[in-house]
Amino acid sequence: MKHFTGVAAIFISNQKVGAFRRNHGKYAGFYEFVGGKIEANESHAQALKRECLEELSATVDLISYVDTIRYEYEDFVITLHAYHCSINEYDIKLSVHDDVRWCCEDELTSIPWLAADYLLFDQIKTLLRKD
């Protein structure tokens, strides 16, 4: 089975987390965190910044490491390194997503997330309470 290693940016603002809905592929319609695969010779920070620029046309700063999770989907395995990040501008342009929602803690489970992302909810709730 294929194994991918990737990064995810968790954006928190006003005690809400950014959820981005995929607009293509097998997982279209599911919400996720912005991010993607780490390319050869790329650090986690470089990958996050590249992915956010590609997917949001936005520059970001890493605030802190959140967690590393591993999840086995039916056709691949992903190891995902998640970071709390800030967006440097809020005039984002969605390219691989068609919706962004800012969810408070009580709303987290009210939308369909990619399965792996649920593994980060405990850490996200902690971040939301600190914001």
Render pLDDT for 81-108 as a digit per residue (tens, 0 to 9).
999 999 987 678 999 999 999 999 999 9
CATH for 2-130 is: 3.90.79.10
Structural element, H or E, at residue 67: strand 60-72
CA distance between the termini of the chain: 39
Q: What pTM was estimated for this model as a whole?
A: 0.94
Contacts of residue 26, Cβ cutoff 8 Å, sequence gap at least 6: none
Digitized pLDDT (tens) for each residue of the chain, 131 residues in all: 999 999 999 999 999 999 999 999 999 999 999 999 999 999 999 999 999 999 999 999 999 999 999 999 999 999 999 999 999 876 789 999 999 999 999 999 999 999 999 999 999 999 999 87
